Amino acid sequence: MELISDKNSTYQAASKVAGLIAAHFYKHLAAAQENGEENLAAAPDARVVEKLIDVAFWASLHKEEGNSTKISLAFLPPAQAGKPLLFERPLQLTPKVLSKLAPGVERAGVHVGVWHDGTELYIWGTTIRLPDYCFVLDVSEPALLVVKQRRIIGLGKFTNVAVLRGDQIKVVDENIGLLPDSPEILTSLLGLSSTAAVWNDPVNILIQIAVSMRAHGRGGILLVTPALQDRWKASIIHPLQYPVAPAFSGVADLVRQNCSRSVSDIYWQNALRREVENVAGLTAVDGATLITDRHELLTFGAKITRAAYATPVDQMQFMEPILDSTPRLIHPSSLGGTRHLSAAQFVHDQRDSLALVASQDGYFTVFSWSKNAQMVQAHRIDVLLL
């Protein structure tokens, strides 16, 4: 498609990243077609991507009655939207129109449909249903845009493709998840794991907890240890400030109950969200929250210490799932101080455990043990949680 306007975007990041994003969607859709998949979205070309990002960026800086613009744009024709809400007349795709429309469509799951007439992009209405691999652009806050791709099935049903914050561009690199010893939470967020297709899979529930941890904005540590063992106690200062006895199994009980249910059970999903928020909220208390890999809560507000048999952790492998980012060796404290250092030490001592660390500034890091590298590895995954 050739757009009528030949003007370059005034948001320079749009032109810089458009080609990479368009290539990503083309690659995934071409592979899906070869696999015989149906209900596939159209791949936006670079000009379309650039235009959408440019308009969305300037809309994000607009305020309507004192409120910032929050809106989700989806590139698809009305015919692929199930039962769409159609406007009698198409609307122009401009920052002003988006900011005026935003208050009515900012609820989660509602997307503003954008298509073209062969020359220009226009807004045709709204939808809550999207075809597979659909291009979605979320305006989350002023100058923060997230490009997403609809999954076929699975938790959240979207994977992040790129994040643009002002002049900072981060394009997700799926290949990071193919490295040896990549934790399952990372591969699931990248859409590389089969667990992404199961709503109540343990990894997907852990992702829900991570999202909720990041959302409360206070920072926190979640430690995940194997069930039916207590080796973790060697790395925690005693007595515990908030021990839980017996272990709280709100999340675990719901997962067991769901074994024979459909994942479309909205009541079960809402109950699970409440239990997830219950556990995630405790991570705001100073100290670490401990759960088992069966999602049973053991304690919170716990103080991490180096195990008597262990040596101090002096370096770890750090990586971020974005293009042009390469793994590098760093000291754990360089990520953010005491919280990150203590989490790295815990994983160094308890090598069958996992540590999730949320920072107050929005960064989110997963610590795990790499058997291949024989050291702690830290994956910064906030770019995948937005």
Express each pLDDT in 106-122 by its tens digit. 988 899 999 999 889 99
Query: Taking Cα atoms as reference points, which of 222, 217, 232 lies closest to residue 366?
Result: 222
Tokens of 251: 């999340």
> Residue 156 has what pLDDT?
52
pLDDT digits (tens, 9 = 90+) for 167-190: 999 999 989 988 889 999 999 898
213 vs 265, higher pLDDT: 213
Distance (Å, whole) CA 352 – CA 356: 14
> Residue 38 has what pLDDT?
87
> Residue 65 has what pLDDT?
83
- CA 322, 25, 46, 386: dihedral to nearest 10 degrees? -50
Tokens of 5: 């306007």
pLDDT value at 258 more than 70: no
> Residue 4 has what pLDDT?
46
Distance (Å, whole) CA 9 – CA 199: 39
Query: Taking Cα atoms as reference points, which of 232, 239, 243 lies closest to residue 300?
Result: 243
- Is pTM beyond 0.85? Reply is yes
Q: What would the 3-class secondary structure string for the chain be?
A: CCCCCCCCCCCHHHHHHHHHHHHHHHHHHHHHHHCCCCCECCCCCHHHHHHHHHHHHHHHCCEECCEECCEEEEECCHHHCCCCEEEEEEEECCHHHHHHHHHHCCCCCCEEEEEECCCCEEEEEEECCCCECCEEEEEEECCEEEEEEECCCCCCCEEEEEEEECCEEEEECHHHHHCCCCCHHHHHHCCCCHHHHCCCCHHHHHHHHHHHHHHHCCCEEEEEECCCCCHHHHHECCCCCEEEEEEECHHHHHHHHHHHCCCCCHHHHHHHHHHHHHHHHHCCCCCEEEEECCCCEEEEEECECCCCCCCCCCCEEEECCECCCCCEEECHHHHCCHHHHHHHHHHHHCCCCEEEEECCCCCEEEEEEECCCCEEEEEECHHHHC
Domain with CATH 3.40.1700.10 in the chain: 178-384
> Residue 194 has what pLDDT?
57
User: How do strand 297-302 and strand 121-127 relate by DSSP bridges?
Assistant: unpaired
pLDDT band at 268 (very low <50, low <70, confident <90, very high): confident
Q: Residue range 152-177: average pLDDT? A: 84
Distance (Å, whole) CA 200 – CA 289: 21
pLDDT value at 134 more than 50: yes
In single-letter form, the type of residue at position 352 comes to: D
Question: Do residues 50 and 18 make contact, with C-beta atoms less than 8 angstroms apart?
Answer: yes
> Residue 254 has what pLDDT?
85
Percent of the chain with pLDDT over 90: 74
Q: Residue range 199-213: average pLDDT? A: 85
Question: Which of the listed ranges 4-8, 121-125, 157-161, 256-260 does the model predict with the highest average pLDDT?
Answer: 121-125
Q: What CATH topology corresponds to 178-384? A: YojJ-like (1 (3.40.1700)
pLDDT band at 261 (very low <50, low <70, confident <90, very high): low
> Residue 146 has what pLDDT?
97
> What does the mean pLDDT of the chain come to?
90
pLDDT band at 260 (very low <50, low <70, confident <90, very high): low
pLDDT digits (tens, 9 = 90+) for 309-330: 999 999 999 999 999 888 999 9
Q: Residue range 249-253: average pLDDT? A: 91
Question: In 10 A of CB 6, how many CB atoms?
Answer: 7
pLDDT value at 345 more than 80: yes
pLDDT value at 93 more than 80: yes
Percent of the chain with pLDDT over 70: 92
pLDDT value at 245 more than 90: yes
Q: Which residues pair with 304 in a beta bridge?
A: 236
pLDDT digits (tens, 9 = 90+) for 271-313: 888 999 999 999 999 999 999 999 999 999 999 999 999 999 9
Q: Residue range 123-144: average pLDDT? A: 95
pLDDT digits (tens, 9 = 90+) for 4-18: 455 667 899 999 999
> Residue 300 has what pLDDT?
98
pLDDT value at 338 more than 70: yes
> Residue 192 has what pLDDT?
79
pLDDT band at 203 (very low <50, low <70, confident <90, very high): confident
> Residue 154 has what pLDDT?
47
